[in-house]
Homo-oligomer: A and B are copies of this chain.
Amino acid sequence: MVTLAEVAKHAGVSASTVSYVLSGKRSISSPTRERVERAISELGYHPNAGARALAGKRSHIIALVVPLRTDVYVPVMMEIAISVTVAARSHGYDVLLITNDEGPEGLRRVAASGLADGVILMDVELDDARIPVLRETGTHAALIGLPADTRGLACVDHDFAGAGALCAEHLADLGHQDIAFIGYAPGVYQRHAGYAERTLSGFRERAAQRGLRVLHRPCEGSYESTAGALSRILADRPDTTGFVVQNEGAIGPLLSLLRTSGRVVPEDASVVALCPEPLAEQYSPRLTAVTGPAHELGRQAVELVMNRLDDRPTAEVSLLTPVLTPRESSGPAPVR
């Protein structure tokens, strides 16, 4: 194993000079810098991570806490994890993966041992058990998701209310009057999951402004539950021509069922999905969809942690603007 001392000897300088060349924390004359850099590459030197952490009081690692089972669509979780890793690397940081099966104690372990300098929590809940640990240990952290009490925390999330509003806006613009919102499973609303409620209220508010009639139906996402939701919707409001779906599992069934019931999309019924782009693209017809930038979520979370590590102040909450991409599944309301 090549050590800093060996590099120093090889370059004919002191150890501290090598260290300073690496860290850039003091100015070095070009000739020495070059000698050192040559020595480094000739010997294939890589600083020892443990020693660096011990002496420098910084592990250059951030922990990413992922839930075992999650509300978040898995490919999106992965996209976030990857964007976090890439963004962290651009700051010279690596990412440690922590699963939530250790519970909040995992956080404490990682922070107290100095294994990680900071933490990013994914899939944060309104009343998240990990937050007290964060406060108690004073760990530098960024949250993806919005807890009930954000005081002193740094959070990034999609602007779900804005996303809901966008759906209402789009369908109203197309002349639809009766809209059904097919949502997550009832349990999700019963435990007051923030993203679900925020989307729904953003949607409802804008719908009210635009004078739309709205029906909200929770849905498990299975074929059967979607069929149940749809038939109730059509029974209660036969004039429904617009559908907003916020439930990945319900999309496929909904499209099949509309077809089966003789409704052509988008001529007879318009469908707007709240889902990731790749999902929207893979259906036939391709779905008009509202999406938030998942990789941006990861990137910003990393920026937040880095800012906190360097004692730069950060805003408490940052919401990312969603985008509606019109595709083939939405069109003008049918004339009656």
Contacts and interface: CB of A to CB of B under 8 A. Distances in A.
Interface string A60-89: 010010101000001101100110011001
Contacts of A51: 50, 54
Nearest to A60: B115
B94 A115 contact: yes
Interface string A221-261: 01100000000000000000000000001001100100000
A213 interface: no
A8 to B, nearest CB: 18
A interface, how many residues as a size bin?
Answer: 35 or more
A48 B284 contact: no
A98 B51 CA distance: 21
A284 B223 contact: yes
Interface in A278-298: 282-284
Interface of A: 1-2, 44, 46-54, 59, 61, 64, 66, 68, 74-75, 77-78, 81-82, 85-86, 89, 94-99, 101-102, 108-110, 112-115, 222-223, 249, 252-253, 256, 282-284
19 contacts: A1-B112, A46-B109, A46-B112, A48-B114, A49-B50, A49-B53, A50-B50, A50-B51, A50-B114, A64-B97, A74-B78, A75-B75, A85-B98, A94-B97, A94-B98, A94-B115, A96-B96, A97-B97, A222-B282
